[in-house]
């Protein structure tokens, strides 16, 4: 799996070779798990039609990430309070939140994001809806994950242990309105942390077989990553058993 928080004209990516065992749930192939009805989600934004919005959004996002380090304890409590409020009727998720509060450490941010739990779903829901109020409340974990990805990438880059170039694949189902934004030669940005795989076959499983047309279209992204551009692009490769 690959994870990233895309910044303005720059990208952060985390790569892993992940073997999928068992069926892939609908939660993994679409963006429809939990919905903030007050805001429409956008996984993709094109620069041609959204330049001002993208610049403003990423400026505010960087400010929020920096704000988290000012009072870490308060930002963590804001996150836990909002999570418990939103998931108050789901006993299973509340148990996961308690586990997170008790056992989470900063060095485990990537582990918790790749864990099949509430975090990656809710964090990306907020980022893709560009809901700044929610993003501020979630700033603790967004910041922790962002900085760990940056640190891991810097370490690998310095040690020269990452391949100079590689192709990562992301499979998912997109609404037609999102798919229509993808045009040859167009510059786009992806909202939120983006997961992908070094295995094309794994990504195709997540893309689905097109059975949800016309509502959703199966899409395979081929992301060409060039490590030779160095620290201007953030990514990291992880292995999972």
Q: Where are the alpha helices (DSSP H) in 138-207?
A: 139-159, 176-179, 200-207
Per-residue model confidence as pLDDT tens digits over 88-101: 999 999 999 999 99
In the block, tokens 């160095």 appear at 230
Q: Which two tokens stand for residue 7?
A: 């910044």
Give the CA-trace dihedral at 146, 150, 151, 152, to 10 degrees. Answer: 100
Per-residue model confidence as pLDDT tens digits over 142-198: 999 988 887 876 666 545 545 567 788 889 998 888 887 777 777 777 777 888 888
Q: Which two tokens stand for residue 51?
A: 């330049």
Q: What is the mean pLDDT of the chain?
A: 75
Per-residue pLDDT at 128 exceeds 60:
yes
Q: Which two tokens stand for residue 4?
A: 């990233």
Rounded Cα distance, 100 and 158, in Å: 32
Per-residue model confidence as pLDDT tens digits over 129-157: 888 899 999 999 999 998 888 787 666 65
Looking at residue 235, its pLDDT comes to 55
8 A C-beta contact, residue 191 and residue 7: no
In the block, tokens 């918790």 appear at 112
Contacts of 1 (CB under 8 A, 6+ apart): 14, 15, 16, 18, 114, 195, 196, 197, 238, 240
Rounded Cα distance, 13 and 226, in Å: 11
Helix (H), strand (E) at residue 65: helix 47-68
Per-residue pLDDT at 11 exceeds 70:
no
Per-residue pLDDT at 8 exceeds 70:
no
8 A C-beta contact, residue 31 and residue 226: no
């Amino acid at each position: 799996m690959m994870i990233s928080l895309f910044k303005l004209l720059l990208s952060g990516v985390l790569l892993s070779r992940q073997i999928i065992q068992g069926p892939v749930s609908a939660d993994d192939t679409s963006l429809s798990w939990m919905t903030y009805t007050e805001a429409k989600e956008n996984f993709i934004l094109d620069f041609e039609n959204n330049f001002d919005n993208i610049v403003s959004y990423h400026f505010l996002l960087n400010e929020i990430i920096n704000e988290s380090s000012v009072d870490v304890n308060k930002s963590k409590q804001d996150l836990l309070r909002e999570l418990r409020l939103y998931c108050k009727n789901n006993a299973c998720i509340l148990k996961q939140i308690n586990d997170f509060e008790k056992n989470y450490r900063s060095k485990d941010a990537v582990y918790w994001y790749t864990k099949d739990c509430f975090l990656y779903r809710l964090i990306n829901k907020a980022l893709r809806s560009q809901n700044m109020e929610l993003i501020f409340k979630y700033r603790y974990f967004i910041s922790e994950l962002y900085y760990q990805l940056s640190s891991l990438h810097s370490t690998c880059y310095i040690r020269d242990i990452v391949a100079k170039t590689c192709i990562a694949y992301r499979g998912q189902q997109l609404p037609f309105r999102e798919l229509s934004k993808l045009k040859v030669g167009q510059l786009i940005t992806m909202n939120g942390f983006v997961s992908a795989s070094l295995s094309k076959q794994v990504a195709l499983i997540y893309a689905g077989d097109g059975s949800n047309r016309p509502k959703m279209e199966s899409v395979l992204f081929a992301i060409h990553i060039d490590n030779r551009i160095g620290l201007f692009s953030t990514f990291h490769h992880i292995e999972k058993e």
